[in-house]
Structure 1
Amino acid sequence: MSKIDQATFDETSKKWIKGQALFFRAWAYQSLVKDVGGMPLILEPQPVGDLSSIQKPRNKTSECVAQILKDLDDAIAILPDGWSGRDAGRIDKGAALAFKGRVLLFYASPLFNGLNGIATWQKAYEANLAAKTYLDSKGKGLYPVFGKIWEDEMNKEIIMVRRFNYPESAYPAPGFIPLFASADDWESDCPSWELLKAFPMKDGSKFAPASASDYEKYFLNRDDRFYATVLYNGAPVMWGDKWKKQNVYNWSFLQFGQIDASNNAFDKSNGKYKNDLNQSWSGLTEFSPNCTYRAKGVDRSAPDALHSATDWPEIRYAEVLLNLAEAAFESGKASEALNYLIPIRQRAGISQGVGNYGINTTDLRQAIRDERFVEFAFENKRWDDLRRWKAFDYLRSLGKRHGFAIILKPGESLPGKLDDINKPAVYTKFACNVVNGDKATIGIQDKQYLFGLPYRILQRNPKLQQNNTWGGNFDPFQ
C-alpha cells in the first residue's frame, strides 16, 4: 500500500491491486473488531527494530469502524465492475458495496447501537440500497432455483465467493453425508430441531405439528429451501459413486431407538445414548440424534468426500436484500422492507396465499430475522446475527438445543432401499420425537456478545487493555 504508486506497471493495474488490498484490510479489521471491539490501527509499515517501538494501544471501536468504512469507500472508487477468465471471483466493486452494507448493518444493530452515529440504521439502509441498485444494474439478482446456487458456478446471485476446483484447489468434507457414502467422519454439520421446524410450509404458514401424525409428515410440503438444505430420512438422493454403488436412498432412522424419561434418545441394542449432536453409531445406516444431515453446499459430483470443490459464496444477492429489508424496517420504512422480503419467499416456492406469502406483517422485525435463519442456514451468519441482535435470551430459553429422532416403530418392517418416503405406508413406519441435542443446558452469558482478548495476546503487547466486560478497562462499545 505504501509503495505501489511507485511501481512501473500500468495505472489501471495499480488501481485494481490497491482496491483489493484496501478491501481486504477492511475485511481483516472487521473480522477482529466485530468480535472484540477496537484494535490498534496499523496503517503504515512498521520499522524493524525494538519490539516495544511497534507495540500500539487499542484504538476506539468507532475509530476502527470509521477506518473500515473509509477503506471500503476508497476501494469502491477504484475497483473494476467485474473480472473475467482466470480472474473471475476476485473482489470487485459490487462485493465491496455489499460488504459495506453488511458492516453498517452490524454496527447499527442493538449490540453497538450505531456507535454514536458512525453506523445508524439510515446509513445502513443507504449503503445496502446503493449495493442493490448497483448490482441490479450489472445483472445480479436472485438465482431462480435455490438449490442450484451451490451447483451452478458464478451464477448471478454470487457477489463474493471463495472459489474451488478439483484437483488443484479442493477441500476435505468427509462429515456432511452418511458414513457409508463418505469417509472418516460423519455428522459434522447436522440441523437442529430448531432449524428443521423453522422452514415454512409451501403455503407460507408455520410448521406447527399438533399430533404425532403431523411430526411423521415433517418433510412434506415444506418450502424449497428445506429440501436444498436438509438431507432428511428417506430423501431420494444418491450423490457420488459410493452412494450409487449402494443403490440406496438416504435412510437415517434409529432401528432400535428408544426415548428415556429425560428425553434422551438411545439405541436399545447397546444402550449408547444419543444426546450429543456430534455423536453417532452404526446399524442399518448411519444414525443421527436428529436423523438429518446437511444438504446445502455438498459437492454431489466429487470423486470422494476428501476432494470437494464446491464454490462457497460469502455474500449472495439474497443477503443484500435481507440486509436492506432489515435496515429499511429499522429506519421506519416497513412497507419497503416487505417488498424486499417477498422475492425471497417467492424464490423459495411459497404461494402467495391469502396474505403476503405467509409473512407476519404485524411483527415484521421477527419475520425478517426468521427469514435469515432459514435462508442462510449453514452459511456462517447465524452467530453474528444472534450477537448483533443481543438475542442470547433466545438461546437460554431453549434450555438445550434439540434433535429429531426418527425411530422405526415396534413390529414394523424395514423400508426397502429405494422405497418412496412420501407414501403413507412408508413414512408411518417411523415415530418422530423431539429429543435433547445437547448434554448440558445452554449457559451462555451476556458478556460473551464480545470476546475478551486471549492472555497470550495481552502478553505480547503490554499496551493492550482487556475489555471491561472481561475485567479490563477498555470499553469496546465506544
Structure 2
Amino acid sequence: MTKKNIINGILGLSLAFGLFSCDDQLDLRPISQETTENAYSTGTQLEAALTGVYESFQSNDYYVWDKIIFQDVRSDNYYAGGDNPEIFEFDAVDVSTTNSRVFNAWSSIYNAISKANLVIERAPQIQEGITENQREEYIGQALFLRAYHYYNLVKNWGGVPLILETIKSTDPSEVRIPRNSAEEVYAQIIADLNDAELLLPDTYGNDASINKARATKGAANALLAKVHAQKPNPDYEAVLSHANAVINSPAGYELLDNYDQLFDGNNYNNKESILEIQYLGSDEGTWGPQMHLPPSISGDTWRKFVTPSKDLVEAYNEEGDEVRKNATILFEAVPWIDEYWGNEINSEVPFAYKWRNASGWASADNDYILRLADIILMKAEALNELGQLDAAAAEVNSIRERVDLPELTADDMQNGDALRRAILEERRLELAQEANRWDDLVRYDLMVQIMKNVDDLDLRNNQPVDYNVSETDALLPIPQNEINRNPQLEQNPGY
C-alpha cells in the first residue's frame, strides 16, 4: 500500500465504534461535529493529541508497573511480595474475574486506543499548520501505538473487540459489540504496523531522547518480529525478516558493551534502545521503582512488592551468570518476614533491581518498551524454528559474550528442541523484570509444564506451593465489570 493510499484509506476503517467501560477510565460521550471540527483543526492541535497518546504510557498503571505483575509475577520469575491480595492472585496463577487490576488494565489500554484513533481519524482532514511529511509521521506513530496497545490486549485476553474509530454514539446497539477472534486482532495489528513502517522515519534527527521516545521504523519492525512469533500461527520467516530490518537499520542499533549500564540510570536512550517510556522525575516521574526497591534505596521500611523468586536466582547461579544477576537482583536484610526467603525478621531477601532510583515516588528511571537484545533473541528463535541451528546459536552467543558467558554447548545445540529450551532460558536471564516471561512461556507452549515444575516451599507451614495451572490460565479473565456492561462479551474458558 502506498503512503497516499494509507492516508486516504484511514477514514474508511469501519469496524466497531465504541466499547462500554468505566466512566473514569474511558469517556463514552460521542465526539460531536463541533468538537471534531474546532478542537482538532491545526497541526499544533494534532501534535498535542499525539502527545496525549504517548502520555498514556506514563499515566496507565499497566504500563507503569502492572505489566511486571502480569508477566513476571504471574510466571516463575518473581513472587508478589507486598501485601495486596489481588497481586497474590497473579502469583498463585488464580486471577479472579473481579480483580481490579485486570479491569483497570483493560479500561486504560482501550482509553489509549481511543486517543490513537482520534489522531488517525483527524490527521487526513487537517490542512492548517501541517506539512505532508508531518501528517505521515503523525499517522504512522498513532498506527504503531494503536497496534502496540492491541498487542497487549490480545496477549492478555485473547480475542477482544476491535475499535478502530472514535466513539460517535452511546447507542447500546453500536457500542455493545462482541469480541473479535485473536486471529482477527493479530491481523489488524500486523496491518497497522505494516502501514506504520511505510510512514515512519528511521530517526527524527540526532537527538536520542527524541528518537527513543517516538515510534520509528525500527520500533515498527521490532514489534512486527514479536507479533509474528506470538500470534496463534507463528510466521518465523516474517520474524526473521523484521528482526533483520532492526539489526541492519540505518538507525544504528547496537548492544551496549556493559549490560549493567542499561539499568544504572545514567545511560537511557542508548544505542541498544529502540523505544523507551520516558520519565523526567518530579511531577513527570514514575512511582514504580518505589514499589520494588529495598529500604537502603527507597528510604522506607514497608514490605516491597515483586520479589525475585528462588527459581530465578537459581537459574542465574546455575548458569554462572553473575553479570546479569547483579544487574537484576539486589539482596538486603529486611525488617519483615518473607514466606519464601526467610520466616524471621532480618532475613536476607532479594529485590528487583532493574529500576534503581526511587526518588520518593517520582523516579526518572525510564522503562524499555523494545531493545535490541530482545530482537536478536527473537531472530535466534526464528532461525532455530527454520532449521538453521548454527546461525541461531551464533545469535545467542552474541548475547552471552557480552556478559562473559561461554558459547552454547554441543548439548544445547544437539537438536531444535534442545536449542529452543536454551533460547528460552537465555531470554529469561536477559529480560527478567522487563515483562516478557509469561509471553515466552505461552509462545513456547511450556507454561503448564514449567509452572508445575516450580519447586517453591512456603516457610510459614513448610508446605510445597502447588501452582495448579492449566492451559486456560494462559489468558486472563475478561473483567466482570465489562461483561456486566456489555452482555455480548463472552468470558474466557476456565473462569
Structure 2 length-normalised TM: 0.67
1:31 aligned residue: 152
Q: CA, structure 1 residues 305+55, in 2 after alignment: closer, same or farther (shift >3 Å)?
A: same
Deviations 1:424-445 (A, max 9, x none): xxxxxxxxxxx99987421122
Distance 2:476 2:248 in 1: 35
Deviations 1:222-274 (A, max 9, x none): 43112211213xxxxxxxxxxxxxxxxx5x389xxxxxxxxxxxxxxxxx964
2:238 aligned residue: 123
Q: Give the conservation status (yes or no) of the 8 Å contact 1:81–1:92.
A: yes
Q: Give the conservation status (yes or no) of the 8 Å contact 2:279–2:366.
A: yes
Shift of 1:93: 1.2
Distance 2:248 2:368 in 1: 20
User: Which amino acid letter does the alignment assign opposite residue 101 of structure 1?
Assistant: A
Deviations 1:193-223 (A, max 9, x none): 21112126xxxxx45xxxxxxxxxxxxx643
Distance 1:168 1:329 in 2: 46
Please give the secondary structure, in 1, of the residue aligned with 2:268: coil
Choose from 442, 456, 459 the match for 2:481: 456
Distance 2:199 2:395 in 1: 29
Alignment of 1:275 onto 2:331? no
Alignment of 1:298 onto 2:352? no
Matches within 5 A, 1:25-424: 25-84=146-205, 85=207, 87-88=210-211, 89-107=213-231, 112=232, 114=233, 119-134=234-249, 137-150=250-263, 151=265, 152-172=267-287, 173-182=289-298, 183=300, 185-199=302-316, 206-207=318-319, 222-232=321-331, 252=333, 274-276=338-340, 282-283=345-346, 287-288=347-348, 291-299=349-357, 304-351=359-406, 356=408, 360-362=412-414, 363-391=418-446, 392-400=448-456
Q: Give the conservation status (yes or no) of the 8 Å contact 1:194–1:401.
A: no
Q: Give the conservation status (yes or no) of the 8 Å contact 2:254–2:272.
A: yes
Shift of 1:385: 1.3
Distance 2:351 2:146 in 1: 36
Shift of 1:372: 0.7
Q: Give the conservation status (yes or no) of the 8 Å contact 2:203–2:251.
A: no
Shift of 1:282: 4.5
Shift of 1:324: 0.7
Q: CA, structure 1 residues 100+345, in 2 after alignment: closer, same or farther (shift >3 Å)?
A: same
User: Which amino acid letter does the alignment assign opposite residue 385 of structure 1?
Assistant: D
Choose from 422, 437, 444 the match for 2:469: 444
Distance 2:368 2:352 in 1: 16
Distance 1:93 1:87 in 2: 14
Shift of 1:347: 0.4
Q: CA, structure 1 residues 128+149, in 2 after alignment: closer, same or farther (shift >3 Å)?
A: same
Deviations 1:109-144 (A, max 9, x none): xxx3x1xxxx3222222222233222xx32211100
Shift of 1:378: 1.0
CA RMSD in angstroms comes to 2.8
Larger radius of gyration, structure 1 or 2? 1
2:122 aligned residue: 3
| Greater helix content | 2
Shift of 1:48: 2.0
Q: CA, structure 1 residues 402+314, in 2 after alignment: closer, same or farther (shift >3 Å)?
A: farther
Shift of 1:47: 2.5
Structure 1 length-normalised TM: 0.69
Q: Which runs of 5 or more residues in structure 2 are unaligned?
A: 1-119
Q: How many residues align?
A: 363
Distance 1:446 1:31 in 2: 19
Q: CA, structure 1 residues 169+3, in 2 after alignment: closer, same or farther (shift >3 Å)?
A: closer
User: Which amino acid letter does the alignment assign opposite residue 140 of structure 1?
Assistant: Y
Q: Give the conservation status (yes or no) of the 8 Å contact 2:307–2:350.
A: yes
Distance 1:103 1:437 in 2: 42
Q: Give the conservation status (yes or no) of the 8 Å contact 2:229–2:239.
A: yes
Shift of 1:102: 0.8
Q: Give the conservation status (yes or no) of the 8 Å contact 1:41–1:58.
A: yes
Q: CA, structure 1 residues 53+227, in 2 after alignment: closer, same or farther (shift >3 Å)?
A: closer
Distance 2:458 2:260 in 1: 25
Deviations 1:347-375 (A, max 9, x none): 012245xxx47982222111101101110
